Structure 1
């Protein structure tokens, strides 16, 4: 007896729930459509459609979740891949610029050494040329001064 009262109570609750659902304006709008009227007239098709929808929800939900996670991972992976490529490109640029800087300093040192050596050599060459010229001028001046001194000294000796 107790089980039949429980079934009857369950039936009453189910009936109240279905009445409340059928009184909902959105459900009433669907039931007034052609599809709703067809499903009301063919309960086996309605049950099959309901079971198919319920059973297809899980695989569809799993596939949709998989697709969403894949898209998110691809976007995140793309961002990380782009960040990695930018890091490698920046590191390459830094290495190339450092190499160019070292090369520029090395070339500047070599040019400075060549310039300093050349200027010292030219200075020494010009100094020796100047000393020769001055030496010849001094010899010429000494002869001239000797000639000018000679007559006076010869006069003073007389």
Structure 2
């Protein structure tokens, strides 16, 4: 006896739910359209369409999630790849600039050594030239000291 009363209560709840669903303005608008009238007159097609929609939601949701994750991963991967390329480019620039700096210092040292060596050799082989340049410097220093 209790099972029949529970079934009747369930039936009443189900009927109330269906009535509230049919009274919804959006549902009423769909049911008044040609498609809604066709589905009302062909319940097997309506059931098939409902089952297909319900069963297709899971694969569609999985595919949509896969596509979204793929796009996000591609964007993140692109950002990481760009950061890696910038890092490699910066490191290459640092190495090239360091090499240019070392080369510039080395060339400056070589030029200074050549200048010092050539000036020493000239002073050894041509002492008069160096005496003249020293005497000119002394006379320039005396004249500048006398003008002050």
- TM-score, with length taken from structure 2: 0.83
- Alignment correspondent of 2:105: 105
CA contact (8 A) 2:123 2:129 kept: no
Change (3 A) 1:24 1:127: same
Give, in whole Å, the separation in 1 of the partners of 2:93 and 2:24. 68
Change (3 A) 1:110 1:51: same
Change (3 A) 1:129 1:58: closer
Give, in whole Å, the separation in 1 of the partners of 2:130 and 2:87. 63
Query: How far does the alpha carbon of each residue in 1:56-86 deviate from its partner, in whole angstroms, 9 at most, with x for none?
Result: 1001100100110010001000100110111
- Alignment correspondent of 2:139: none
1:125 Cα offset (Å): 3.2
- Alignment correspondent of 1:4: 4
Larger radius of gyration: 1
* Unaligned runs of at least 5 residues, structure 1: 132-158
Give matches, 1:137-148, under 5 Å: none
Query: How far does the alpha carbon of each residue in 1:105-140 deviate from its partner, in whole angstroms, 9 at most, with x for none?
Result: 111110111111112222333325677xxxxxxxxx
Give, in whole Å, the separation in 2 of the partners of 1:76 and 1:85. 14
Query: What is the number of residues matched between the two proteins?
Result: 131
- Alignment correspondent of 1:77: 77
* Unaligned runs of at least 5 residues, structure 2: 132-148
Give, in whole Å, the separation in 1 of the partners of 2:112 and 2:6. 107
- Alignment correspondent of 1:52: 52
- Alignment correspondent of 2:21: 21
- Alignment correspondent of 1:152: none
Root mean square deviation of aligned Cα: 1.5
